[in-house]
Chain A
């Protein structure tokens, strides 16, 4: 084996080890650090342990938004079938409105209330987040063309 071949072999081995190590790292990271998305019906159907982080999405129920004390906000997320009360402390995104779609990240507390660490509204005004559309469709509460209407 000449020197060039030996070097190539060493390089290939190093590459393989690096790739294997990287893949192991990525797989562990993916297993432990993804957030599942559940609709209120999912939350009602399956037993999610308190403290387990996930994302919830649906519509903000009309008349459910209550402010205070301080900067704390309470509202109810619904998909028409089930309801989950949510508590959040912070400034709500500009697109947050009663009757509109919302996605929140956080976890359940012991009493079944969802403590949101983050309320997302990274969607365009014109349509719902696809997760919410999906959740509403599964609950049979979605009318075609609803999200595109202004």
Chain B
């Protein structure tokens, strides 16, 4: 029954999205109140029915309804409840439904907030309706999650054990909230072009959605990086894997968009460029979806190899990007320029920020797509790895970080560079000291690490100066906190990356119970290895005592789990963290006679990588909160009277 309810809800959603597209676009052109009301109600209806369909799928997974093909292929009765729920999006069909669900949430938010006036909202809903219809068609025709299986099997095939992890509960929904949230910025930009009102108002209207999407994307990438770190099979916190790059590109462009839109709102500068970034950000989300979902890449993210799906998404990408760019080419020449600004000003700083972010995104884009192009045109199989990105991405981003502290110190239109440097001189001093300390005391490779540490310290110290300056001048605002936090977060992440790559210690040994191995300052003694039983797996668990100076300070227990249903083994690493350093231990193969391979790392500063991501997200939240508070204050009758 649930299957049919879900299927029906999806069909109704498709109808509603088409109604919303037509009514929304008609309402924007014809200035008809009725059409606009229809679009608003269709948005709420779309949300309700997609939520119903998504709920039906989760229900089918929770109740192990194996008459639904998707459940039979990806679930199992022995799975713990949490993995039955999260398993709903741990497969291609379910993850596409999650994609559309997030789109429906943003659409409802646009209809609910009605920012930027009735006409702009109506046009934005029309664009969202087109996107929703395209993706609902994709689901219904190529990836139906509610296909029936007759007769139903007694047991499902299970979920890839690598995905049976709490990370699956948080990482995909958060990443999608970011990816798909960029559709709101895209819809507002297209709406501004459609209505011919491509001034600052659309950027102001779309700002909360851009911020929400950026925060979610930041957290989604951070969570993904953390998951890839503690899960041994996935290659560490960042691997320049195409799937990781697919999420990094929209993040870089969304970051540029947030900064460029700031200038557009404030002085009307970069109007055309901000529109282009809004289009590019969501286009990269679509390209990311294509890369991950079409099966052109192999990773644990690509659930199925179905060329038909890839072709459909590719066509969708061309339609969306092509349509938006055509609209842009048609309307952009009529755009007026903003107010003039001096070469030394906040606008110039934002311009440089945008150039560098766009260049960084371009290097990632080329490095990610070059192998695909080479393979599809000439059948040459290559891979572009970390060395390429170290040469191209790293210098561009280093230049960006060098300039980051200056931006908030410069005023709009015309600024005083000398005053900015005077304000930042303590940060410069601290950064120099940090670099010299690293050169003096740290092990090789020192020069690169010293530069990176100095850069990170420079950014963090500048953030502190910014906040303390505002505090003393009693001009503290959410906006000031936002940029200081987000910028400092970049520095914190950089420190973590330097620590975890330059100062990593690694040890690999074969131990029998009672034997000890050394990694950095820790001695690890294997106490014993025993067979333990989990809910749907059995595992070999090694009990290891962590000792420093002959004293046991902790015991940790890495496992090697075997999932009989899926016929796969998974390492469950043990991490002991002090907040500034991780001891990371994984259990390897059984070498017979009670001997086991044990691999251990000490990763100094590694937790900073994710703390930095959290700081950036907090910065985004501060900005969002300040923005919404101002909107509410502006809408209240008292404020109107006061003006």
Contact partners of B391 in chain A: CB under 8 A: 25, 28-29, 33
Are B366 and A34 neighbours in the complex by a CB distance under 8 Å?
no
On whether A122 and B235 interact (CB within 8 A), knowing A15-B355, A67-B589, the answer reads yes
Are B588 and A91 neighbours in the complex by a CB distance under 8 Å?
yes
Are B234 and A122 neighbours in the complex by a CB distance under 8 Å?
yes
B472 at the interface (CB under 8 A from A): no
The proximity string for A residues 16-40 relative to B, scoring 1 for CB distances below 8 Å and 0 otherwise, is 0010001001101110111111000
Min C-beta distance of A68 to chain B, whole Å: 7
Pick from A43-51, A76-84, A107-115, A129-137 the stretch touching chain B: A129-137
Number of A interface residues in the complex (CB < 8 A): 40
Contact partners of A142 in chain B: CB under 8 A: none
Interchain CB contact (< 8 A) of B568 among A15, A90, A94, A134? A94
With both beta carbons as reference points, the residue of chain B lying nearest to A71 in the complex is identified as B508
Pick from B93-101, B135-143, B375-383, B479-487 the stretch touching chain A: B375-383
Contacting A at CB under 8 A, from B491-524, are 508-510
Are A91 and B508 neighbours in the complex by a CB distance under 8 Å?
yes
Are B233 and A30 neighbours in the complex by a CB distance under 8 Å?
no
B571 at the interface (CB under 8 A from A): yes
Contact partners of B570 in chain A: CB under 8 A: 94
Are A89 and B382 neighbours in the complex by a CB distance under 8 Å?
no
A4 at the interface (CB under 8 A from B): yes
Main SS of chain B's interface residues?
mixed
A68 to B385, CA, bound (A): 29
Interchain CB contact (< 8 A) of B597 among A91, A93, A126? A91
A92 at the interface (CB under 8 A from B): yes
Contact partners of A92 in chain B: CB under 8 A: 588-589
B160 at the interface (CB under 8 A from A): yes
A123 at the interface (CB under 8 A from B): yes
Min C-beta distance of A125 to chain B, whole Å: 5
Are A124 and B303 neighbours in the complex by a CB distance under 8 Å?
yes
Are B566 and A122 neighbours in the complex by a CB distance under 8 Å?
no
The proximity string for A residues 96-126 relative to B, scoring 1 for CB distances below 8 Å and 0 otherwise, is 0000000000000000000000000111111
A143 at the interface (CB under 8 A from B): no
B586 at the interface (CB under 8 A from A): yes
Are A89 and B508 neighbours in the complex by a CB distance under 8 Å?
yes
Are A123 and B298 neighbours in the complex by a CB distance under 8 Å?
yes
A55 to B385, CA, bound (A): 11
Min C-beta distance of A37 to chain B, whole Å: 4
Contact partners of A94 in chain B: CB under 8 A: 232-233, 560, 568-571
Interchain CB contact (< 8 A) of B385 among A33, A71, A125, A134? A33
Contact partners of A37 in chain B: CB under 8 A: 381-383
On whether A124 and B359 interact (CB within 8 A), knowing A71-B510, A71-B588, the answer reads no
Contact partners of B233 in chain A: CB under 8 A: 93-95, 121-122
Min C-beta distance of A150 to chain B, whole Å: 7
B300 at the interface (CB under 8 A from A): yes
B599 at the interface (CB under 8 A from A): yes
Are B160 and A125 neighbours in the complex by a CB distance under 8 Å?
yes
B299 at the interface (CB under 8 A from A): yes
A92 to B232, CA, bound (A): 10
- Provide a sorted-by-A list of 21 A–B residue pairs whose CB atoms are within 8 angstroms: A3-B340, A18-B359, A22-B392, A25-B392, A26-B362, A26-B366, A34-B370, A34-B382, A34-B388, A35-B385, A89-B508, A91-B586, A91-B589, A93-B233, A94-B568, A95-B568, A122-B234, A123-B298, A123-B300, A124-B300, A134-B381
Q: Which residues of A contact B (CB under 8 A)?
A: 3-4, 15, 18, 22, 25-26, 28-30, 32-37, 55, 67-68, 70-71, 89-95, 121-127, 129-131, 134, 150
Q: Which residues of B contact A (CB under 8 A)?
A: 157, 160, 232-235, 241, 298-300, 302-303, 305, 337, 340, 355, 359, 362-363, 366-367, 370-371, 380-385, 387-388, 391-392, 395-396, 508-510, 560, 566-571, 586, 588-589, 591, 597, 599
Besides A91-B588, A127-B305, 4 new A-B residue pairs in contact (Cβ under 8 A), listed by A number: A25-B391, A26-B366, A33-B385, A33-B387
